[in-house]
Structure formats: structure tokens, C-alpha cells
Amino acid sequence: MNIRFAALSVTVTALVGTLMGQDKSGKTLDMYFLDAEGGQAVLYVSPSGESLLIDTGSGGGRDTDRIMDAVNTAGLKQIDHLIVSHYHLDHIGGLEELSKRIPIRHFIDHGATGEHTPGIDNALKTYAVLYSAAKHTVAKPGDRIPMAGMNVDVVTSGTQVLRTPLKGAPGAGRPNPACPAFHARDESLVDPDNKYSVGVVITYGKFRTINLADFTYNAEPDLMCPNNPIGTIDLYLTSHHGLEQSGSAVLVHALRPRVAVMHNSTRKGGDVATMQILHTSPGLEDIWQLHWAYAAGLELNSPGLFVANVEDKETMASVLVNPPPTFGQLRAAGRGAGAPPAGAAGAAGRGRGGHTGPAFYIKASASADGTFTVTNTRNNFSKTYAASK
């Protein structure tokens, strides 16, 4: 009996040790790509429970509600770090309301604005009051935002870019073969503060992801040429909502992402040029979209499994027969700057982004061994990606 008991004790002890090891190794970096309908709001929750929010979407309470839903799902009591990537109202507009709902401990931004409008100037007055009562950092390329168990490296800020390759990053420092073929685009309609965006690379173990906010197409060679200082990544959040104003082959093809998540709305993002660059990116497996993009049409949108928000049948039929104007078309016609266009024509015109249904988000969870799972919360479809070799 004693021998059997001893053997049982050893077995139980070994099993408990194995389970404890699995619990520890099973902790994930969780990423919530929220539906800000053409703005940005992305929540990152580290394996230790520390939080980083990048941008707050637009004002009016809608995007704040969506952020708080994710905050509550993640069980957070505060936002430990908030990056205000730049000062356009589809990125900073929800800040004042959010600050009333949850404590924000650390504000991070690019410093002085590159653009003055009444909306931006008013938002900055409110922002200055908020960060004066908390920790405030003006980010510079090469900085690292302190988060336990993971690295958050600043690679762009205030029009400046990272010059030194990230240590230990796969492929960092190698020549970028896409540079010689780069051709600048007309950026006369690009709002100036976009190129000031704070951009970061987030690393958890072997998993790597990037968020460059609205960093612009013509500025991307400054970061990525002649050598690539970032290396390869696993998950790419499409720059600038998937508009053709960002996301050149110099950037995307050099990063060689396994997966892209497009932070678009129905009419803002999913531009044909952007989708073509994504679809031809070496090693890209899937594109996950916050919305079915009108600009991409039937050929270039991802299959429905990978799209978080789709229109009702009547609206979709109207869109296919009579496509409404896209964000780029509205901008060319002189509509406002730095925010989703106000209602469009036809059945697709309901709401600022033209979306007619409830809001769903895309969630990604990454393990330290480099495996990660992406989930569409509209249909609960998930796909797990093996670690990069």
C-alpha cells in the first residue's frame, strides 16, 4: 500500500506540475481590434494583465462604448498606457469621454501637432488637462514603453523614424529589395499630422505585431530604406485604415506579415491599390477586415468568414448595384479631413461610416512560442497560425 501510495503521489505531483506549467505557458497577449468605423481603437492586454490602448476612436460616445465593452471583457480596472498616435479626431475624439469612464495612468504622444484646425486645437486643450494630471511621455523612435514580459518599441514619432535595427528581430537590418521600385504618390490631400504618427512594434516571445497608425505612404521609405530596421512580423495592422495613402510594398512586402487586420469602415479603406499590395505580399495567409469594403468590391474583399461587420441584405444589394462614394472620392470632392465622411447617399448612408448593423471586433491572442489565433466575433470563426519557422 505504501509503495502504491508513493507512486500515486509522484504521479499526482508530476501531473500538477505539468498543469501548472501549461497554465504559465498558456498565457497570451490579447489584442482587440475594435470597430471605430474608420477611426482607430486597439486594445492590447499583456499576459500579466497590463494594458495598452492605441487611440480612442471618434467622439460622441459610440466608440467609447465599444472600447469599454472590450475593457470589461478583459477585466481591466484602468488603462495603464494610452498612445495617442496623432491628433485627428477619428483617433483622439473619444478621449475625453473615455477618461470619464476609466482611469488612464500614462499618456504617450508625438509632441507638438503638425496641423492646426479648430477641432484639433480644441481636442489638444482637453488633452493637455488630462495628461497634466498623469504620467506623460513624448515618444521618440528607439524608445521602449515599459510593459512587463513584452517589448513595445517606438519606430516612428513626430516625423522621425527608427534608424537602428531592432535587436534580435528576425531580418532586421537587411537590405530592402522593394526600395528601388518605390514611386512617391501625390499626397496633397493627405492631412499633415498623419506623418507624425506614433508607430510601435510589439513583441511577446516569438510573436511580433506592428501598428503604425496613419503613417503615410511617402514617408514609409524613410523608415524602411535602404535597410529594413524592423525585420519580419506576424500580424500587420494595415496602416491608415487600409487607404492607399499608406501601406506601400516598401513597407508591407519587407515586413512579410503572415496575417493582416484591416481597421477599415465600409467606405474608408480597402482601396484597390492597398488590397493588391496585400494580396501580393510574400507569405501572407489571410486578410481579416473590420468591415466589408465598398472600394474592394467582390474580387478583393476577404471571404465573409474573415469580415467582422457586413451589411444587411438590402443594403448589400444596393451597394453592389449602385456603389456609393468611397472615402477617397469624398475627400477629392472636398469633404472634411481626418475623420470618417458624414452620411453618404443611398441605403449605405446610415451612420458616419455607413454601417447598418451591430458592431463586432476582431480579437487575436498570441502565445510566447509564436502561435496565435485570430477570431471574428461576429460568427466566432477562429483560425490558429503556427509559429514562424
pLDDT tens across 213-264, in order?
999 999 999 999 999 999 999 999 999 999 999 999 999 999 999 999 999 9
Rounded distance between C-alpha atoms, residue 91 and residue 39, angstroms: 6
Q: Are 299 and 270 in contact (CB under 8 A)?
A: no
Rounded distance between C-alpha atoms, residue 238 and residue 259, angstroms: 10
Q: Are 262 and 242 in contact (CB under 8 A)?
A: yes
Report the pLDDT averaged over residues 82-92: 98
β-pairing, 106-109 vs 135-138, is parallel
Is the predicted pLDDT of residue 22 greater than 80, yes or no?
no
pLDDT, one tens digit per residue, over 126-152 is 999 999 999 999 999 999 999 999 999
Q: How many CA atoms lie within 13 A of 205 on its CB side?
A: 18
Rounded distance between C-alpha atoms, residue 51 and residue 74, angstroms: 9
Nearest to 327, CA basis, from 342, 308, 315: 342
pLDDT on residue 334: 60
Q: Are 363 and 45 in contact (CB under 8 A)?
A: no
Cell triple for residue 81? 498606457
β-pairing, 150-157 vs 144-147, is antiparallel
Across the chain, how many H-helices and E-strands are there? 11, 20
pLDDT on residue 189: 86
pLDDT, one tens digit per residue, over 338-350 is 444 333 323 333 3
Nearest to 269, CA basis, from 35, 109, 84: 35
Share of the chain above pLDDT 90, in %: 79
Rounded distance between C-alpha atoms, residue 91 and residue 55, angstroms: 5
Residue 93: pLDDT band by 50, 70, 90 thresholds?
very high
Is the predicted pLDDT of residue 17 greater than 70, yes or no?
no
pLDDT on residue 124: 97
Amino acid, res. 63: D
Mean of per-residue pLDDT scores for the chain: 88
Cell triple for residue 186? 501625390
What is the per-residue DSSP string for 4-15?
HHHHHHHHHHHH
Rounded distance between C-alpha atoms, residue 289 and residue 306, angstroms: 6
Residue labelled with grid coordinates 512580423:
233
Handedness of CA 347, 350, 355, 358 (dihedral sign): negative
**Other beta carbons less than 10 A from residue 135's beta carbon:** 12
pLDDT, one tens digit per residue, over 167-216 is 999 999 999 999 999 999 999 889 999 999 999 999 999 999 999 999 99
Beta strands in the chain (DSSP E): 29-33, 42-45, 51-54, 81-83, 106-109, 135-138, 144-147, 150-157, 160-161, 174-175, 199-204, 207-211, 227-228, 235-237, 259-262, 286-291, 307-309, 362-366, 372-376, 381-385
SS3 88: coil
Residue 330: pLDDT band by 50, 70, 90 thresholds?
low
